[in-house]
Amino acid sequence: MTFAAAAMVLTATVAAAQNLDAGKSPAKLFADGCATCHRSPRGLAKGRFSLTLSWFLKDHYATSSDSAKMLAAYLESVDEPPPRAAAKSAKKPARSAPRPSKPVQSQ
């Protein structure tokens, strides 16, 4: 076996052994890696696309693309849906009729 082939085998073995996220649930991934700075997973997805969120997590926080995808899906699942215009208008109180003007008293 040449030196380059041996180095590739050792590198692949070491890289596979370093996946510290393997077997963890997404909630556990958040608790272990994110809860130090973030109290809650709510709002962290902030309406981002799943793919870009997954890439961001892989580049900065997750140890593998699979754990980044799982964490992204988890963050999206607990994120609150964006408000809709119809939902906003349904929550607004109905306008009351204008108040009658006070009668002017004559002197």
Q: How confident is residue 96, by pLDDT bands cut at 50, 70 and 90?
A: low
- Residue 71 domain-assigned? yes
Specify the number of domains making up the chain. 1
Continuous H helices in 1-107: 3-17, 26-33, 50-60, 65-78, 85-91
Is there a contact between 29 and 21 (Cβ–Cβ < 8 Å)?
Answer: yes
Look at residue 58 and tell me whether its pLDDT is greater than 70: yes
Instruction: Give the mean pLDDT of 88-100.
Output: 61
Q: What's the pLDDT score for residue 62? A: 86
Instruction: Give the mean pLDDT of 49-55.
Output: 90
Dihedral angle, C-alpha 98, 101, 102, 104, nearest 10 °: 180
Look at residue 64 and tell me whether its pLDDT is greater than 70: yes
- Residue 100 domain-assigned? no
- Residue 73 domain-assigned? yes
Q: What's the pLDDT score for residue 44? A: 86
Distance CA(101)–CA(69), nearest Å, equals 63
Look at residue 77 and tell me whether its pLDDT is greater than 80: yes
Domain of 44? Answer: 28-81
